[in-house]
Copies of this chain bind each other. A is one copy, B any other.
């Protein structure tokens, strides 16, 4: 096995993503030592039972002390608090990163608190499932998934390269872009789809009882995919919407305008307009299959026999 990329890794937060990083870093021999921190004693005890780290603490500073790489794996709304807590103890030359689904807000919350002699390289591994907590993690979560790095201008290139190596050896495909661009792209590919999924499942939940039972029964007709997305972690998603507000509201405005056009076409019985709208969307689907982000196999092997634990796509 190749040399470790880092000595001590500190994971601040040990939910789905944090625990998956722990599994993956260990499995691939990427670090010599893992310190696990979380705010809840119960979660910390569970992390210890699962042997996710080499040391366990409720104190972010204790975990971050002497660490060569600190990865903050908390809901994005808690980023500033963590930055304040760890800043005084950070080792000169350490890399501080995160896994948040929004990046401008994380930079705003953290950058000002971190000392000048550490390297701040925000990251977003685009992977997840609808499950949360330390039991949900697995080493393969990031395999063949994108991990986007958004280093602020002037970030040390060596630090970026080392973090990229860490993610690449975990199995991810690394891409570098600005935090602003990241937040716009993710608003349309991830945040709006999640908001809409939450919304339609909520609309169904408000239906009369006899209809609601049948919504569940006949969910395979399209609704089911939305419920999976809408089962993602509420805290994480609350923070995403609060912290990517501008881009989300901008995209939501476009979405609503477009929906109004379709609604009017239905009301007016304008079949040609509907047909045209439903035809052009096929090109996007073809693009996704061509770049290998999905297969054309019906149902993706959604069969009782298929139990693969592959890299997934639901959360964030």
A194 vs chain B, min Cβ distance (A): 6
New contact pairs (10) apart from A205-B281, A216-B293, A299-B310, CB-CB < 8 Å: A146-B220, A190-B218, A203-B251, A206-B258, A216-B287, A238-B275, A248-B266, A249-B267, A301-B307, A306-B308
Of A52-60, A87-95, A225-233, the one with at least 4 CB within 8 A of chain B: A225-233
Q: A214 an interface residue at 8 Å Cβ cutoff?
A: yes
Q: A298 an interface residue at 8 Å Cβ cutoff?
A: yes
Q: Which residues on the B side are within 8 Å of A313 (C-beta)?
A: 220-222, 224-225, 299, 302
Prevailing SS type, chain A contact patch: helix
Q: Which of A211, A284, A304 has the most CB of B within 10 A?
A: A284
Q: Which residues on the B side are within 8 Å of A235 (C-beta)?
A: 275
A contacts, CB < 8 Å to B: 77, 126-127, 129-131, 145-146, 148, 184-186, 188-207, 211, 214-232, 234-235, 237-239, 241-242, 245, 248-249, 251-252, 254-256, 258-259, 262-263, 265-267, 269, 271, 274-275, 277-285, 287-288, 291, 293-294, 296-314, 316
A298 and B245 contact, Cβ closer than 8 Å, known pairs A188-B211, A216-B291: no
A271 and B238 contact, Cβ closer than 8 Å, known pairs A219-B288, A262-B195: yes
CA A313 to CA B313, docked complex, whole Å: 18
B285 near A227 with CB under 8 A, answer yes
Q: Which residues on the B side are within 8 Å of A285 (C-beta)?
A: 130, 201, 227-228, 230-231
B201 near A231 with CB under 8 A, answer no
B186 near A284 with CB under 8 A, answer no
What are 17 inter-chain pairs, A to B, with CB distance below 8 A? Answer: A188-B215, A189-B215, A190-B223, A198-B262, A199-B262, A201-B281, A206-B258, A222-B313, A227-B281, A227-B285, A228-B285, A230-B282, A241-B266, A248-B266, A252-B263, A297-B307, A302-B308
CA A147 to CA B280, docked complex, whole Å: 30
Q: Which residues on the B side are within 8 Å of A265 (C-beta)?
A: 241
CA A237 to CA B278, docked complex, whole Å: 8
CA A245 to CA B264, docked complex, whole Å: 11
A198 vs chain B, min Cβ distance (A): 5
B293 near A220 with CB under 8 A, answer yes
**CB within 8 A of A316: which of B215, B221, B249?**
B221
Q: Which residues on the B side are within 8 Å of A275 (C-beta)?
A: 234-235, 238
A144 vs chain B, min Cβ distance (A): 9
Q: Which residues on the B side are within 8 Å of A287 (C-beta)?
A: 216
Q: Which residue of B lies closest to A298 (CB)?
A: B129
**CB within 8 A of A288: which of B200, B227, B238, B259?**
B227
Q: Which residues on the B side are within 8 Å of A255 (C-beta)?
A: 199-200, 203
Q: Which residues on the B side are within 8 Å of A316 (C-beta)?
A: 221-222
Q: Which residues on the B side are within 8 Å of A190 (C-beta)?
A: 218, 221-223
A126 near B231 with CB under 8 A, answer no
Q: Which residues on the B side are within 8 Å of A219 (C-beta)?
A: 189, 288, 293-294
A265 vs chain B, min Cβ distance (A): 8
